[in-house]
Chain A
Amino acid sequence: MNYSWQQDRDAYSQLGRSINERHTDQLSTQLSVFQSALVNFASEHGDEIKQNLEFRSKFTQICNSVGIDPLDLILYTNSSSTTSNKSRGDNFYIALAVRITEVCQKTRDLNGGLIALKELISILKDSDSLQINISQSDIERSLIHLNTLGKGYTILNINDKKWLKFTSATGSGISNDQKKVYELCSFMGGFVTYRLLRDNYDWDKIRCKTVVEEMIMNGLVWVDTQGDNGEYQFWEPSWISN
């Protein structure tokens, strides 16, 4: 008696599960159909959305309710289907600039405001629901727009890799010595020690200490006290996302 009751219950719960699954499937299909309709709509009626204020606010509401960020739509509708970057309009680069500042703000407490372009691009791609292709040169063009607002963003070359340095209104740039620390980090697989700095650059004790301590203060490196032979290691945080 007990046994068959158990079987009934299993059968019911299985049925419940499969109905639930079907519902979720159907709903997510509907949602994605609706989302793509919205994207098409935005590219067809882009001018109208731009000019008519009331229309625009309604449209933004719809976007929010189906989980599309209007900024993504601007990016998407202005990214155009051609592969040549030249055809991308100013709007695309301005929208991208907004995204870049968002990412920089969000990751600053982790990386001290220095982010590899490669990492930036992969974060941008992850956060965007519409899959837009973004290249390093797109980022560089966006920064031109951004820097008309003040020179807070600069691109640095460290070991043939491009990094974006983001400084707040009060903060300072990155010094040559700090750049050299990062260079050595990338050779060493993520970290430096005082000894490595001395051996490679012939810096004296005080110089090593000053540079590293300032980098710790700015959040550009993390300290590890458990290295081999108790030697302190200083790690660059972008290692985490590499």
Chain B
Amino acid sequence: MTTTITDFIFPKIHTFPPLYTKQPNSTILSNQLDSWCQIILSYCEYYRITSLTINGIPKYTQLETIDLEKIPPIFENKTINRTTNDDFKSSIIHHLIYKLNKAEYINPKKPELGIYIYWRSLVEWGQLLYDYVDNSGQLGTVLTIYELTKSDENGLPDSLKNLDETLLIKIVKDFLIKQGKAQILMTEDNEIGGVKIV
């Protein structure tokens, strides 16, 4: 994990000036929104970003070697001097959440906390997690959040390393528990003490 990552290469449409203006023609607009969402998803997947603020600023990445403040922004292109305004940004995010189901508010009651970006769906994340626990022979063992995201000892795959803890808990709660494949154990202080995947 010492190598640094080169800058994401945006598709050519990212330098097309009208992309930054919300198009009045509805057919074109829906295409434009699709293009924007595609850009966000590949950008986040490239930098392994799992959450954004509602203004499209990266919040969390699994990669420890990158500085989120130094990577090129999504909604701004300095070479052509264009930015997406807040109103249009929120249309794009709305499209990503409700039309494409590729994002979700971190807390629906507090949208200002930002959104999770699902370039990998909760189901796929859950499957990865389950496969790891299964393959390492740890089914039925109580594992701490630390062991599931940071530990080097049991061959934790890169895809899961440094996963945002809140996202991890969401994956367990929204998918694995519903499937009857996991339990969460609470400590006396009402904090999460561990996860048991069965």
A: which residues have CB within 8 A of B? 2, 9, 109-110, 112, 191, 216-219, 222-227, 233, 235, 237, 239-241
A-B contact pairs, 15 of them (CB 8 A): A9-B155, A109-B28, A109-B31, A191-B17, A216-B24, A216-B25, A222-B16, A222-B19, A223-B21, A224-B17, A224-B20, A226-B17, A226-B83, A227-B17, A237-B16
Q: Say yes or no: A235-B16 contact (C-beta < 8 A), given A9-B155, A110-B31.
A: yes
Q: A233 near B18 (CB under 8 angstroms)? A: yes
Q: B16 near A219 (CB under 8 angstroms)? A: no
B4 at the A interface (CB under 8 A):
no
A222-B18, A226-B82, A235-B16 known; 9 other A-B pairs, CB under 8 Å?
Answer: A9-B155, A109-B27, A109-B30, A222-B19, A224-B17, A225-B21, A226-B20, A235-B17, A240-B12
Partner of A241, one of B12, B20, B31, B81: B12
CA distance A218 to B24 in the complex (A): 11
Residue of B nearest to A233 (CB): B17
Q: B18 near A223 (CB under 8 angstroms)? A: yes
Residue of B nearest to A221 (CB): B18
Q: A217 near B25 (CB under 8 angstroms)? A: yes
User: In the assembled complex, which residues on chain B have CB atoms less than 8 Å from the CB atom of A222?
Assistant: 16, 18-19, 21, 23, 28, 32
Partner of B16, one of A2, A112, A217, A239: A239
B13 at the A interface (CB under 8 A):
yes
User: In the assembled complex, which residues on chain B have CB atoms less than 8 Å from the CB atom of A235?
Assistant: 16-18
CA distance A226 to B21 in the complex (A): 8
CA distance A146 to B30 in the complex (A): 30
CA distance A9 to B19 in the complex (A): 48
Tell me the smallest distance from the CB of A165 to a CB of chain B, in Å. Answer: 17
Tell me the smallest distance from the CB of B169 to a CB of chain A, in Å. Answer: 28
CA distance A2 to B155 in the complex (A): 12
CA distance A222 to B30 in the complex (A): 13
CA distance A79 to B131 in the complex (A): 50
Tell me the smallest distance from the CB of B83 to a CB of chain A, in Å. Answer: 8
User: In the assembled complex, which residues on chain A have CB atoms less than 8 Å from the CB atom of B155?
Assistant: 9
Residue of B nearest to A235 (CB): B18
CA distance A200 to B28 in the complex (A): 28
Residue of B nearest to A108 (CB): B27
Tell me the smallest distance from the CB of B88 to a CB of chain A, in Å. Answer: 10
Residue of A nearest to B16 (CB): A240
CA distance A226 to B155 in the complex (A): 51
